[in-house]
Structure 1
Amino acid sequence: MSTILITGANRGLGLEFTRQYLKDGETIIACCRAPDGAKELQEVAAGSGGKVKVEKLDVTDDASCAALAGKLKGTAIDMLINNAGIMGPAMEKQATANMDYAGFAEALNVNTLSPLRVTNALMPNLEDGKGKTIVNISSRMGSIGDLSATYGTAYRATKAALNMVMACLAIDLKEKGYTVAMLHPGWVQTDMGGPEADLTPPDSVSNMRATIGKLTKADNGKFFNYDGKPLPW
C-alpha cells in the first residue's frame, strides 16, 4: 500500500481522490486550508480507520508548507497530487483588454507557484517514498497547441505556466527516478466546473486514477487527458 498526499482535499476532485484511494486501502494525507470547516472530508476521515489524516495546509504560504513538512518529518510519501487550484477572476475580468491583474496574480500563485512550493517543501518525504510520483491537476485550457478561444485568459496562462514549471521539474528529477505528470481532469461538475459540465467527479477521478496507475518513467514530464490520451502543449 502507498501513502498519498492530496492538496485541496476538502471538496471536488480532491475529496473524490481521497474517497477512491481510501477504497483501495491507501493511506491518505488530505490537506486543506481550513480542516475544521471541511465537514465532508472530516466524515471520510472519521470512517477511515485511521487511513485518512487531515492536515492544515495553505499552499500559497511558505510558512504553512514548512509547518506541514516539519509535522510530516520522517513520513514517506509515495505520491503527491497537486490538486488545489482556483479559476481566478470573474470571466469578464479575464479578457486581454479587461484584466483583473490582482486576481490574475492570485491565480498564478495558487495554480502555478504553489504546486512547486508544496513539492519542494515535501521533497524529503518524496525521497523516502517508493513511488516517486508527482501528479499535477492541470487543464486543457492551458494548452497553446489546442487554443481556439481566449475565454479565461488568466486561468489559461496559469495552467500553461504550471505545465512548463512541472516539465522543467521533470527534467531536474529524471535521474532520481521520478515521474512528474500533468493531467486534464475534463470538464467536471464541481464548484469550478459548474452543473452543466460533462463529467461527474467520480467519473473524472476514476479515469485519472486509471491513467495514473499506468504511468511509467517514460511518461515523465508529459501532459495527458483524464483518459490517458496525450495532449498538445
Structure 2
Amino acid sequence: MNKTVLITGANRGVGLALTVAYLEAGWRVYATCRDIARANELTQRQSLFPNLTIVELDVTNHDAILHLAQSMASISLDLLINNAGYYGPKGYGFGNTDAEEWRKVLEINTIAPLKLAEAFYPQLKEGTPGMIACVSSKVGSMAENTSGGGYIYRSSKAALNSVVKSLSNDLQAEGIITIALHPGWVQTEMGGPNALIDSQTSAVGLKKVIDNLTPADSGLFMDYQGNYLPW
C-alpha cells in the first residue's frame, strides 16, 4: 500500500521539488497551495501522477486547516511536511522592523505548522506512525547567529524550532517523530539567484534524511545532508 504525505506550500521551490520527489517514489501526495489557478507547475504534474491531489489552503486560516483535516479523516498519514514559508521584508536594519509583517511571518512560519500538526494528529497516529517534518532554516539557530539582523525571519524559525522540540516531547509516546530541517541555501524566489543549490538537490537530500530518521532523531535539527545543527 502506498504511503501518504501532506506537503504545504507545494506550488514552487522546495515544496514543488519535494512533491515531485515523493510522487516519483510512489507516494500518495496531498499538495497544498494558496491559489491553484496560479500553481501551473504543480497542476501540470496531475496528468503525470495519478497519486497527486492538489488542495487549495491558506495555512493561516485555521478553520480551513480543520476542514481539510476533517475531509481527510479516513486517511492514514505517514508524513506531514510543513514547508509553506514566508520571508517577509529584506534589507531593513535595526530600528526599521515592520511589526505587521513580523506578525504575518510568525503566522505562516511558526503558528501554522503547529496548527497543522494538531489538526492532523489523528491521521498521523494512524500512520506507521507518522512523522512531522518542519522546514526551518539555519538562520533560526542561536549558535549560528554571528551577524545579527534579520529579526523577523530569524525569530520565526527559532520559534518554529521550539515548536518542533515541544512536539517531539509531547508526541514521543505515540511514536510520532518530529524534526526541524534546514533545506540549504536554495535558488528559489526566497533564496535568490546567488544561492548555492537548486530545489531538486535540496528536496532529494531532505527526502533521504526523512527516510532514515529514527526515534532518536525526534526533536533534533538537521540539514539536507544529514548533519545535525545546533539550536
Q: TM-score by structure 2 length?
A: 0.97
2:19–2:29: 8 Å Cα contact kept in structure 1?
yes
What are the residue-to-residue correspondences of 1:205-224 with 2, within 5 Å?
Answer: 205-224=203-222
What is the letter of the counterpart of residue 56 of structure 2?
A: K
Aligned to 2:107: 109
Aligned to 1:69: 69
- For residues 150-196 of structure 1, the C-alpha deviation after alignment (integer angstroms, 9 at most, x for no partner) is 23111000000000011001100001101100000010000000111
Aligned to 1:2: 3
For the pair 1:187 / 2:185, whether they are aligned, the reply is yes
Deviation at residue 106 of structure 1 after TM alignment: 0.5
1:135–1:182: 8 Å Cα contact kept in structure 2?
yes
Among residues 120, 127, 141, which one is paired with 2:125 in the alignment? 127
For the pair 1:166 / 2:164, whether they are aligned, the reply is yes
Aligned to 1:40: 41
Deviation at residue 54 of structure 1 after TM alignment: 0.4
2:129–2:175: 8 Å Cα contact kept in structure 1?
no
2:183–2:206: 8 Å Cα contact kept in structure 1?
yes
Q: How far apart are the structure 2 equivalents of 1:43 and 1:23?
A: 15
Runs (5+) with no aligned partner, structure 1: none
Deviation at residue 70 of structure 1 after TM alignment: 1.9
Deviation at residue 209 of structure 1 after TM alignment: 1.1
Deviation at residue 90 of structure 1 after TM alignment: 3.0
SS at match of 1:158: helix
Superposition RMSD on alpha carbons, in Å?
A: 1.0
Deviation at residue 22 of structure 1 after TM alignment: 0.8
SS at match of 1:183: strand
Runs (5+) with no aligned partner, structure 2: none
What is the letter of the counterpart of residue 75 of structure 1?
A: I
Q: How far apart are the structure 2 equivalents of 1:148 and 1:31?
A: 35
- For residues 178-228 of structure 1, the C-alpha deviation after alignment (integer angstroms, 9 at most, x for no partner) is 110000001000000011100000111111111111100010100001111
Aligned to 1:137: 135
Q: How far apart are the structure 2 equivalents of 1:123 and 1:33?
A: 22
